[in-house]
Structure formats: structure tokens, C-alpha cells
């Protein structure tokens, strides 16, 4: 009888211990799951670079962003840019049929200052031929961004993304980064960092001819957060 009485509390405690162990396991599994989700959420999207590594053009992620500066557009591009900017926003789909160089930048980005004169020279050279240079300003104060454009005499059209939503969709992890898009809206080139004169010419040619030039490492850049 005494032995049975002594075993009774132990028997009653077993379900409690099992419940506690199960709870601990659930907490650990939940923590690991949250950690894995966080790592995946922060991981860059490599879709564009993976496709370019196989010499395959890839559909450009869409966007519809507000106009920061209309710029000075040469005659061949006037109608398409005018229509795209008529509502104060530019939808990438509105630029179909036009080769595009898309450059991601911000006024606080030191390497972007190095790159700015080269982009402006490229715009003067290729804009008249029908290649649209389009700047995408991100994570910036609007007045600072416009001050940058004035300081560096940039006259090609500019759009604005207040955060990094668009950059993340394109797989960009810093600035400057430059993408080249052919007429059918597919990306055919990508330069990570300050683009060189040769890389710019090769990218513009790829956007014009439609033949992929791949993903390349350029000069210096600043990583972005968020």
C-alpha cells in the first residue's frame, strides 16, 4: 500500500512533464522557424543575375513610381516619355518598345557622385538615338535628390522610390546599380557598382540589340539597408 501511495504522485506528474517538454519543443521550433524566415526575407532576389549568368534575358520586375524630374528629352524619345509621365508616374510597361538604361542611386551615395558625369555623357550620346536613360532615386529626401541632379547637371528623366521596395524586387543590394532593358521589357545586363565607360557602352548595345551582356561587377558602391 505504501509503495502504491508513493507511486501515485509520480504518475500524476508524468503528464505535466510531457506537456512541459512539448511546450519547450514548440517554442524551440517556433524560434528556429522565425529565424529561418528572417534570413530568407533578408536574402537578395538573384533571379535576374541567375538568368543573365545563363545568357538568358529575364522579364524586368514591374514598377509604377512617381516622377522626380522630367529632364530634357530629345525628340526621338519625346512621345513615349511624355505619355509615360503624363499622370505624374512612370509604369515600366509604358516604356515597352524603347531600350532603357535604369540606374539606381541616391544623393547620399558617394560612389554615385563619381558615376554621375559618365551617365550624363552617355545620355547626351545615346538619348538622341532612342535609348532612354532613367534614374531611380531611392531612400532619399526629395529636395536633396533634386539638388544632386542640379549639382551634376543630370538631364535624363528621374523617378523616385521613397524606400527600397523596387530595389529589393530587382535584387539590388546597394547603389549605384545599373540595369539594361531591351525593347520587350527583358533585362539583358546588370552592373553592380559604379559603371565604367566600357560597361555602359556594352549595356546600351545589349539593350539596343537585345543580346544579353550578363551581370558584371563595376566600381565602388554603398550597401543599402532595409
pLDDT per residue as tens digits for the range 198-217: 999 999 999 999 999 999 99
Three cell numbers written together for 183: 525593347
pLDDT digits (tens, 9 = 90+) for 24-35: 444 443 443 333
Q: For position 42, what pLDDT does the model report? A: 55
Show the beta-strand stretches assigned E in the chain. 58-59, 64-69, 89-91, 100-105, 132-138, 158-161, 174-175, 177-181, 186-192, 214-217, 222-223
User: What pLDDT is stored for residue 44 in this prediction?
Assistant: 78
Domain ranges of the chain: 1-43, 47-223
- As beta bridge partners, residue 132 has 100
* Contact assessment for residue 175 and residue 224, using Cβ atoms and an 8 Å cutoff: yes
User: What CATH architecture is 47-223?
Assistant: 3-Layer(aba) Sandwich (3.40)
CA distance linking residue 101 with residue 59, whole number of Å: 15
What local confidence, expressed as pLDDT, does residue 224 receive? 85
Digits of tens for pLDDT over the chain (226 positions)? 555 555 555 555 665 565 556 554 444 434 433 333 333 345 679 999 999 999 999 999 999 999 999 999 999 999 999 999 999 999 999 999 999 999 999 999 999 999 999 999 999 999 999 999 999 999 999 999 999 999 999 999 999 999 889 999 999 999 999 999 999 999 999 999 999 999 999 999 999 999 999 999 999 999 987 6
Sign of CA dihedral 65, 202, 98, 71: positive
Amino acid at each position: 500500500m505504501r509503495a502504491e501511495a508513493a507511486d501515485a504522485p509520480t504518475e500524476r506528474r508524468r503528464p505535466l512533464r510531457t506537456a512541459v517538454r512539448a511546450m519547450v519543443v514548440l517554442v524551440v521550433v517556433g524560434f528556429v522557424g522565425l529565424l529561418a524566415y528572417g534570413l530568407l526575407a533578408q536574402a537578395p532576389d538573384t533571379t535576374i543575375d541567375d538568368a543573365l549568368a545563363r545568357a538568358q534575358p529575364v522579364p524586368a520586375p514591374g514598377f509604377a513610381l512617381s516622377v522626380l524630374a522630367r529632364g530634357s528629352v530629345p525628340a526621338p524619345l519625346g512621345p513615349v516619355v511624355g505619355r509615360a509621365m503624363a499622370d505624374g508616374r512612370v509604369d515600366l510597361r509604358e516604356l515597352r518598345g524603347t531600350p532603357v538604361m535604369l540606374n539606381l542611386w541616391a544623393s547620399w551615395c558617394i560612389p554615385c557622385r563619381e558615376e554621375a558625369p559618365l551617365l550624363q555623357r552617355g545620355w547626351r550620346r545615346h538619348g538622341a538615338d532612342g535609348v532612354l536613360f532613367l534614374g531611380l532615386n531611392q531612400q532619399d529626401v526629395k529636395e536633396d535628390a533634386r539638388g544632386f541632379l542640379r549639382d551634376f547637371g543630370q538631364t535624363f528623366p528621374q523617378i523616385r522610390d521613397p524606400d527600397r521596395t523596387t530595389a529589393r524586387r530587382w535584387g539590388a543590394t546597394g547603389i549605384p546599380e545599373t540595369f539594361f532593358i531591351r525593347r520587350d521589357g527583358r533585362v539583358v545586363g546588370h552592373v553592380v557598382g559604379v559603371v565604367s565607360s566600357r560597361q555602359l557602352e556594352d549595356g546600351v548595345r545589349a539593350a539596343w540589340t537585345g543580346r544579353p551582356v550578363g551581370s558584371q561587377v563595376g566600381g565602388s558602391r554603398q550597401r543599402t539597408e532595409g
